[in-house]
Amino acid sequence: MRSLIYLTLSCTLLSTCVFGYPHGQKNPKLSPAEIEEEISRLINDMILPEKLGQLQQLAGDWYGEVGPSDIPLVKQGLVGSILNVHGAARTNQIQRWALESRQKIPVLIGFDVIHGFRTLFPIPLGETASWDLEAVEQAAAIAAAEARSVGIHWTFAPMVDVMRDPRWGRVMEGSGEDVFLGSEMAKARVRGFQGGDYSAHDRVLACAKHFAAYGAAEAGRDYNGVDMSERRLREIYLPPFKAAVDAGVGSFMTAFNDLNGVPATGNKFLLTKVLRDEWKFDGLVVSDWDAVLELINHQYATNQSEAAMYALNAGTDMEMASRTYVTHGEQLIRSGKVSIETVNTAVRNILRIKYRMGLFDNPFIDENLESATLFKQEFLDAARNITARTFVLLKNQGNILPISKSIGKLAVIGGLAADKFETTDHWPGDVQWQDSVTMLQGIMTKLGVTDTNGQVTYAEGCDTYCRNTSVFDRAEQVARQADFVVVVVGEPREYSGEAGSMTNIGLPGYHLDLVKRIHSTGKPYAVVLVNGRPMTIEWLAENAPAILVTWRSGSMGGHAVADVLFGDVNPSGKLPMSFPRNVGQIPVHYDHKNTGRPIDKASGSLTERYRSKYIDSLNSPQYPFGYGLSYTRFAFENLQLNTTSITAEQSVQVGVSVRNTGQRDGEEVVQVYVRDVAASITRPVRQLKAFKKVKVAVGQTVRIELILKPEDLGFLDDNWQWKIEPGVFEIYVGNNSDTTMQANLTVTTAASEVIGTSTATAVPVTSSTTVNIGESSTHGAASSIQFSVPLIAIFLLLVF
Ligand code: NOJ
């Protein structure tokens, strides 16, 4: 029997090696248990200031330097992490200073690598519009490789806040309005940043932020408070965070906002009950910038000492920027307001990540990597490719696009078309914006011209902000002499991002007047929108012949725009967030609840009274979630479920054929939505549960099979356990959230899931060889195997 036990234990170790470790470490020198032992040894040996020092994240000056007065702190081992420094030589210097300290604990270097470091990809909202998980993972992996090559270990990304208010400037940084799409994107980005092992020289530690409900800031005003039911929190705002945990994310960042009366940074319910107790997260939690100190402004703490006490006791391990922990920690422990165990736990969480990062083996970066990695051609090619697939074609009347390359004269109008700085955004990494390609450059390169006096002409019309109309006449003149006009309008970079909230999300300044001027010439034209958020573009939607949404498109945006405008790439992006008709409709998202008096969707029921509607606007958005056109046409045909009736334990296969009936090869996104017709807790009118992006050649038909699992049909009961009720479910399939193609499914039995204590993702997943978009990745599957084997070993040890 003893040999059986040994056999089982070796299997446990072997399986750990074969199947991979949770939270990112594939083949560590120390086993998880050995790491914990090492940490215990270190903690025993550390004096209190050293422990508190580990909890401090200092701020560098963004460009790379540590403040001179902070250097001695690093040398004394009183700093756990530094953000906003980079450069292989500089970060290596920081590590050398850290190794001068008594405990020789390396410093974790953090930076906001949100959508690229030197090679800038489109803003995350744009990347999400690709609906391409592999592309998004690849973009994150490239960002990670560049960041690591300059000594950065830790990115403060992905932002996984669900957001439904485009007034909020930070919508540019997330994945839009949907829970499922947002969760899939969260996993893809964590995989891309961390890989299977974030100690690798081309990966970084990811950070799920901002925990939690920051995206629901009241009135879309940044940093504003949030008051919502626990149901809404758990159904809408928490799942992408849980998805990040399932994908192995190693760190979390607290949010700035107040949540139901308790600021997130001091919120024990979020940081301890949900994150640690329910989700078993064992990574580190960092506050947002100064967010511990801000507990005073929130009117939650009376002074800095109290702020530190609340944040520490709630479960915020590391303090970013402000220094209340190091200043007041000792006194808090002496007075018993914070226990030494709480501090030790926070230190442990931080050291665990440093071990997994491999910093104790080698804290240095090979200084040759930097120049060999940054902005390399391979990355630029990938960026161009991915960027072109993020653009969303909203309108293309009479197939006015693509433009023929043999067009006589092409006018490009708009300051945004030629402004390199405007290719960037609020989170530019360390982009050298002078190296970015503008749309004007992209178009000129595509047509092989070197000046704007021939086939391509250019007029600014107005600058980025479009604050006056003084050179509109010249723009009109240039347009009148052209055979086709590309008008580039939209938002300047500072109108979105952190603290970038707007009450008016239409075209700013005189941009719309510029478009109207061009419109008045009667020339064929296309509007290229530069935007960090969904915008209100009612006039354009009604009057402009073509509209292409290009988000803020980064280093290679100019080439990518040209690729799409001239048809070398067929647009395939779909909106990750509804475009409202007007600000008064906000929040407008497809998965709203129905009411007792819903409108007749087909008619819009503008005239019917006593319905849930506006007198002066339709309920529907200008463009719905999931929407986007192609230069070709796709027919969705032959929707079939493999069964029309299942028990609550069974899955159903949804099959549909996509036929390319147009003249070009293209890509389409098959989207599957579920509507629970009646439930004991009301459900949204429909919810996205699966999607797949497919290539379909001209004349070709591709059959797509997607699997809906039991948890796709269930919801949380009042104890936050997963449950499925019998009844009828309508399954909608199509290429946007308004699709009407439908099949019905009946669930005949009920089920209540008691595995874990919350959320859909706690339900075990059955594997299948069919394309199964809703299923956990191999990464997740590996983790569940790994947990089960040690459990068997423990069981055997107990029995024998
Ligand atoms: C504040 C932002 O809210 C957060 O997302 C970011 O990571 C930190 N600043 C650090 O720059």
Instruction: For residue 755, give the 3-state DSSP assignment.
Output: coil
pLDDT of residue 606: 67
By the 8 A CB rule, do 529 and 541 touch?
A: no
For 52-111, the pLDDT digits (tens) are 999 999 998 766 678 889 999 999 999 999 999 999 999 999 999 999 999 999 999 999
Closest-CA residue, ligand 1 atom 11, reads 112
Report how far ligand 1's centroid is from the alpha carbon of 252 (Å).
12
Q: Among 63, 86, 112, which residue has the most ligand 1 atoms within 8 Å of its CB, making it the best to mutate? A: 112
- The secondary structure of residue 278, as a DSSP letter, is I
Across 141-170, average pLDDT: 98
Across 493-517, average pLDDT: 98
Phi first, then psi: give them for residue 124, nearest 5 degrees.
-55, -35
Across 125-151, average pLDDT: 98
pLDDT of residue 609: 84
Report how far ligand 1's centroid is from the alpha carbon of 596 (Å).
42
Report how far ligand 1's centroid is from the alpha carbon of 253 (Å).
9
Closest-CA residue, ligand 1 atom 9, reads 289
Q: Output the six-digit token pair for 627.
A: 């929407």
Q: Which residues does residue 728 pair with via DSSP β-bridges, in sequence order?
A: 746
Report how far ligand 1's centroid is from the alpha carbon of 157 (Å).
9
For 718-773, the pLDDT digits (tens) are 999 999 999 999 999 999 999 999 999 999 999 987 433 333 222 222 222 233 33
For 677-707, the pLDDT digits (tens) are 999 999 999 999 999 999 999 999 999 999 9
Q: Output the six-digit token pair for 284.
A: 């580190």
State which ligand 1 atom lies nearest to the alpha carbon of 84: 11
By the 8 A CB rule, do 154 and 251 touch?
A: yes
From the number of C-beta atoms within 10 Å of its C-beta (0-12, 13-18, 19+), residue 115 rates as buried
Residue partners of 43: CB distance under 8 A and separation at least 6: 51, 344, 347, 348, 351
Q: Is the peptide bond before 624 cis (omega within 30 degrees of 0)?
A: no
pLDDT of residue 795: 39
Pocket flag, ligand 1, residue 498 (CB < 6 Å)? yes
pLDDT of residue 604: 64
Pocket flag, ligand 1, residue 112 (CB < 6 Å)? yes
State which ligand 1 atom lies nearest to the alpha carbon of 173: 5
State which ligand 1 atom lies nearest to the alpha carbon of 159: 5
For 561-583, the pLDDT digits (tens) are 999 999 999 999 999 999 999 99
Phi first, then psi: give them for residue 718, nearest 5 degrees.
-70, -15
State which ligand 1 atom lies nearest to the alpha carbon of 214: 3
Q: Among 286, 289, 318, which residue has the most ligand 1 atoms within 8 Å of its CB, making it the best to mutate? A: 289
Closest-CA residue, ligand 1 atom 7, reads 156
Q: Among 320, 425, 496, 501, which residue has the most ligand 1 atoms within 8 Å of its CB, making it the best to mutate? A: 320
- Return the active site residues: 288
From the number of C-beta atoms within 10 Å of its C-beta (0-12, 13-18, 19+), residue 102 rates as exposed
By the 8 A CB rule, do 90 and 528 touch?
A: no
State which ligand 1 atom lies nearest to the alpha carbon of 157: 7
Pocket flag, ligand 1, residue 156 (CB < 6 Å)? yes
Q: Is the peptide bond before 210 cis (omega within 30 degrees of 0)?
A: yes
Closest-CA residue, ligand 1 atom 4, reads 288
Instruction: For residue 198, give the 3-state DSSP assignment.
Output: coil
pLDDT of residue 784: 28
Q: Output the six-digit token pair for 330.
A: 């000792």
> What confidence tier does 600 reach under pLDDT thresholds 50, 70, 90?
confident
Cα Rg, the chain, nearest whole Å: 27
Tallying the residues shown for the chain, one arrives at: 800
Is 539 a residue whose pLDDT tops 70?
yes
Closest-CA residue, ligand 1 atom 10, reads 289
Q: Output the six-digit token pair for 94.
A: 């920081």
Is 715 a residue whose pLDDT tops 80?
yes
Q: Among 214, 265, 288, which residue has the most ligand 1 atoms within 8 Å of its CB, making it the best to mutate? A: 288
Least confident residue range of 8-22, 631-645, 729-743: 8-22
Number of Cα atoms under 13 Å in the Cβ half of residue 450: 0
For 162-175, the pLDDT digits (tens) are 999 999 999 999 99
Report how far ligand 1's centroid is from the alpha carbon of 768 (Å).
40
By the 8 A CB rule, do 222 and 500 touch?
A: yes
Distance from C-alpha of 312 to C-alpha of 329, rounded to nearest angstrom: 9
Report how far ligand 1's centroid is from the alpha carbon of 289 (Å).
6
Secondary structure E strands in 91-244 = 108-111, 154-155, 207-211
Q: Output the six-digit token pair for 750.
A: 């009920």
pLDDT above 70 as % of the chain: 90
Pocket flag, ligand 1, residue 288 (CB < 6 Å)? yes
pLDDT of residue 342: 98
H or E segment at 443? helix 439-447
Q: Among 253, 290, 427, which residue has the most ligand 1 atoms within 8 Å of its CB, making it the best to mutate? A: 253
**Angle, CA of 325, 329 and 331, to the nearest 5°:** 145
> What confidence tier does 452 reach under pLDDT thresholds 50, 70, 90?
very high
> What confidence tier does 186 reach under pLDDT thresholds 50, 70, 90?
very high
Is 161 a residue whose pLDDT tops 80?
yes
Q: Which residues does residue 285 pair with via DSSP β-bridges, in sequence order?
A: 252
Number of Cβ atoms within 10 Å of the Cβ of 106: 23
Across 362-369, average pLDDT: 96
> What confidence tier does 605 reach under pLDDT thresholds 50, 70, 90?
low
Residue partners of 69: CB distance under 8 A and separation at least 6: none
pLDDT of residue 9: 35
DSSP string, 646-685: E-TT--EEEEEEEEE-SSS-EEEEEEEEEEESS-SS--BS
**Could you write out the three-class secondary structure of 560-592?**
HHHHHHCCCCCCCCCCCCCECCCHHHCCCCCCC
Mean predicted lDDT score pLDDT of the chain? 91
- Residue type, position 369, single letter: L
Which residue reads 């991979």 in tokens?
Answer: 20
Report how far ligand 1's centroid is from the alpha carbon of 368 (Å).
29
pLDDT above 90 as % of the chain: 87
Phi first, then psi: give them for residue 576, nearest 5 degrees.
-90, 0
By the 8 A CB rule, do 321 and 282 touch?
A: no
Q: Output the six-digit token pair for 421.
A: 């700085």
Strands 154-155, 108-111: pairing kind: parallel
- Residue type, position 60, single letter: G
Report how far ligand 1's centroid is from the alpha carbon of 498 (Å).
8
H or E segment at 478? helix 472-480
Report how far ligand 1's centroid is from the alpha carbon of 178 (Å).
23
State which ligand 1 atom lies nearest to the alpha carbon of 207: 7
State which ligand 1 atom lies nearest to the alpha carbon of 209: 5
Closest-CA residue, ligand 1 atom 1, reads 289
pLDDT of residue 654: 98
State which ligand 1 atom lies nearest to the alpha carbon of 210: 5
The torsion defined by the Cα of 292, 293, 296 and 302, in degrees rounded to 10, comes to 90
Distance from C-alpha of 551 to C-alpha of 387, rounded to nearest angstrom: 10
By the 8 A CB rule, do 415 and 462 touch?
A: yes
* CA 582 and chain centroid, separation: 25
Which one, of 337, 331, 350, lies nearest residue 48 by Cα?
Answer: 331
pLDDT of residue 601: 73
Q: Output the six-digit token pair for 111.
A: 């930076």
Report how far ligand 1's centroid is from the alpha carbon of 114 (Å).
10
Closest-CA residue, ligand 1 atom 3, reads 288
Pocket flag, ligand 1, residue 289 (CB < 6 Å)? yes
pLDDT of residue 608: 78
Which residue reads 């607290």 in tokens?
Answer: 254
Report how far ligand 1's centroid is from the alpha carbon of 288 (Å).
6
DSSP string, 350-397: HHHHHHHTTTTT-----TTHHHHHTT-HHHHHHHHHHHHTT-EEEEEG
Pocket flag, ligand 1, residue 209 (CB < 6 Å)? yes
